[in-house]
Amino acid sequence: MADRIEKDSLGEVRVPGDALYGAQTQRAVENFPISGRPMPAEVIRAIARVKAACATTNRAMGRLDADRAEAIRAAALAIAAGKHTEHFPIDVFQTGSGTSSNMNVNEVIARLASTPERRVHPNDHVNMGQSSNDVIPTSVHVAARAALAETFFPGVARLAEALRERAVRFDDVVALGRTHTMDAMPRRIGQLLGGHAAMLDAGLARARAADEALAEVALGGTAVGTGFSAPREFVEGTLRELSSLSGLAYREAPNHFAAQGGIDALVFASAAVRGVAISMGKIASDLRWLASGPAGGPAELHFPDLQPGSSIMPGKVNPVMAEVVLQVTAQAIGNDAAIAFAGASGILDLNTFFPLAADNLLSSIRLVGRAAATFAERAVAGLEVDRERCKELVEKSGMLVTALAPKIGYDKAAEIAKEAMKTGRTVREVAKARRVLPDDEIDRLLDPRKMT
């Protein structure tokens, strides 16, 4: 199809003939050939939901005729449902307010809603009562909350539950503790895995607090936070409709200058997601270390065999799911660093890092949620324990001598531990040979289970 000529306030622009967008979108496509990645689809869908809610409220207030309002709403909801995705090509590295993507959505909706008898204007009708400066911050919040609900919370909860299930299953297995990577007092495998699950539970609680912070949105502040052209009735009605469309409750930010001049809620959410990613990295590292071997490491745990681990060493199987989690942890930390910088870099009445913040936050939410669910299903749910290996390492460890120290003193206990490690005998054997206590009392004190 031949190109067509579109006009905006700067003049004429040549636009692909089959494009649903117009001049402002085409200018942005040409201006920002940066990453080759468009604005995240979740943000586009969220913008469309905001547009649908605004059209409904503008109609109810008599500011927009019913015919146009319904056409705008129908077009916006189609986009919110994932249609017409190829018509949102603007690079994520664009104007920092996201104005280009706001206008992209406005233009596509206007074209879909227009007929020869009824012209719908992208600014006058679709953008009525709005500014990019309050629509984009609102839409990023909406997109982030949807991703948290759909991917992050279920995935992390599934991993926590898988860890709890394994903790119960192996709570009878006493294994050697380690501090500073060195032998320490024994503890049960169930206690270790239960601690891992508790870390994720605490992280989820922090993430839910961040989700609640995201429920406060900037809509109604318009250009700089003053709310010019957005009557109180419009804001209240639009947020009611947006809550209904999204299935999550939204409320007006108590201070629009804070909501548009800063991205503190996004910084909070990113930090919470990063925190869970860090917990997952620690968990994956712990389990990978305890599963290392089988001849050269602890080999107390065993992951399911998922795939051959080497192109040259036959029979080698690697902890691939733990490695995936650790890579996701690294990426989430990097994403969060970018968002933290963005949060500190807003100037006066508008933070101009919203596209970057949206892209990085949604990336972290998706990666952490999916990695958690996959790690749960393909690694933790099938995790096994080598009971005999755990028993052997506990018995060989010199740290069991700690249980004798209150009876025979620290110095004498240390001598027993050193002799045991030097000779390869167990603490039990050395203590009995030295006759520091009656044999039955030594056996009673050196019961590993009672130490946990």
CATH number at 433 reads 1.10.40.30
Asked if 16 and 97 sit in the same domain, the reply is: yes
CATH code, domain with 250: 1.20.200.10
Q: What is the pLDDT of residue 398?
A: 85
- State which residues form the domain around 82: 4-128
Asked if 170 and 190 touch (Cβ cutoff 8 Å), the reply is yes
* Domain membership flag for residue 165: yes
Tokens 């605004």 correspond to 54
Task: State which of 128, 158, 188 marks the end of a domain.
Answer: 128
Per DSSP, which regions of 314-362 are E strands? none
Q: What is the pLDDT of residue 89?
A: 98
Q: Is residue 192 part of a domain?
A: yes
User: 406 and 362 in one domain?
Assistant: no
Boundary-marking domain end, from 70, 93, 128? 128
Collapsing DSSP states into helix, strand and coil, what is residue 187? strand
- Please report whether residue 237 resides in a domain: no
- Do 217 and 306 lie in a common domain? yes
Give the model's pLDDT for residue 112. Answer: 97
Is the domain of 73 the same as that of 149? no
Considering the domain architecture, whether residues 97 and 222 belong to the same structural domain is answered as no
What's the pLDDT at 204?
98
240 lies in some domain: no
Which positions are catalytic? Answer: 180, 310
pTM of the model: 0.94
pLDDT value of residue 417: 87
Q: 310 and 363 share a domain?
A: yes
My answer on whether 11 and 155 are in the same domain is no
Q: Is the residue at 275 inside a domain? A: yes
Whole-number pLDDT of residue 7: 87
The secondary structure of 398-449 as a DSSP string is GGGGGGTHHHH-HHHHHHHHHHHHHHS--HHHHHHHHTSS-HHHHHHHT-GG
Residue 145 lies in a domain: yes
- Give yes or no: residues 172 and 313 share one domain: yes
Q: What is the pLDDT of residue 291?
A: 96
In a domain, 239, yes or no: no
pLDDT for res 413:
87
Do residue 303 and residue 338 come from a single domain?
yes
- Mean pLDDT of successive 10-residue segments in the chain (452 residues)? 88 94 96 96 98 98 96 98 97 97 98 95 97 97 98 98 98 96 95 98 98 97 93 96 96 96 97 98 98 94 92 91 98 98 95 97 98 98 97 90 90 89 90 90 90 90
- Between helix 153-169 and helix 264-290 the angle, nearest 10°, is 30
- Contact by Cβ (8 Å): 107, 21: yes
- List the CATH number of the domain containing 107: 1.10.275.10
Final residue in a domain of this structure, among 98, 128, 158: 128
Q: Are residues 119 and 148 in the same domain?
A: no
Classify residue 419: in a domain, yes or no. yes
Structural domains counted in the chain:
3
Same domain for 165 and 293 = yes
- Whether 145 and 223 share a structural domain: yes
pLDDT at 442: 86
